[in-house]
A = this chain, B = another copy of it.
Amino acid sequence: MISKNQLKLVNSLRLQKYRLEHGLFIAEGVKLVDEALKSNFDIYQIFATTEWISFGHLPKNRYLVEVVEISQAELEKISALATANQVLALVKLPSGIHLPDPAGEWTLLLDQIRDPGNLGTIIRTADWFGIDRIVAAENSVELWNPKVVQASMGSVFRMPVHYTDIEKYLSDNAQRVPVFGTMLQGEDIFNIQMGTEGIVVIGNESHGISDAVKPFITRRITIPAATAGSLGRAESLNASIAGAIICYEIRRQCPK
């Protein structure tokens, strides 16, 4: 059974303020909690139905974690999913990780991604294509927002994501590795040689790449649109789509 205080704690974690205050975030559903258990993250508490507990999801070699058995009705009370799915875990926020030298790596640099679903999808895609890390502008949507965690489908437990002053990061690193960005009148991606390392800038959903970041881009990429029909053509691609296509092209040219 879930106590009043536990209920209050879980619900408070829907807000960033309380995630930071308690140092915890939420991972929900069988798949995500399995990923959390497989990861290097510490888990604070698990709320689960009999069904989940009896299935034996807890790895034998895992440190002790408190599992609170709750009813389906209780789970529905704390779940934000359309269909509550057996289990909800409170996971400890990781402590700051060192942001390494970008040489020899592929880094996605997110210039103010605002939509949690987009951020989660970008993390999942980067994980799929073996991108090494993500560097996000400090005012991007927060990583531990439940919608980001959910949309990442667990990739948030594997992909290193750093929040930092991206202008400083670029001014420190833009001379050392190529910096790619999708812009109008760039090199045609169909002909481009991506190479084996670099920073790929992904712009904001509405405003694209910001004026402060543009000067750092050393390789301008254009993803060609089809010739416009009589009614015109889409003016741009969604930020996570453009990012995914570049990740795909990196791996198409240089499988890993």
Other-chain contact of A231, B130, B158, B223 (Cβ < 8 Å): B158
A72 to chain B, nearest CB (A): 20
How many identical chains are in the complex?
2
Residue of B at shortest CB range from A157? Answer: B231
Tally of contact residues, A, Cβ under 8 A: 42
A137 at the interface (CB under 8 A from B): no
| A124→B238 contact, CB < 8 A | yes
Name the residue on B nearest A31 (C-beta): B235
**B124 with A158: CB separation less than 8 A:** no
Check A236 against B129 for contact (C-beta < 8 Å).
Answer: no
Task: Tell me the A residues contacting B by CB distance below 8 Å.
Answer: 35, 38-40, 117, 121, 124-125, 127-130, 151, 153-155, 157-158, 190, 223-227, 229, 231-238, 240-241, 244-245, 248, 251-252, 255-256
A selection of 6 A-B contacts at a CB cut-off of 8 Å is A117-B117, A124-B234, A124-B238, A130-B225, A130-B229, A244-B244
A121-B238, A124-B238 are known; give 15 further A-B pairs, CB within 8 A. Answer: A124-B234, A125-B234, A125-B237, A125-B241, A129-B225, A130-B229, A151-B238, A154-B234, A157-B231, A158-B232, A158-B233, A226-B255, A240-B241, A244-B244, A245-B245
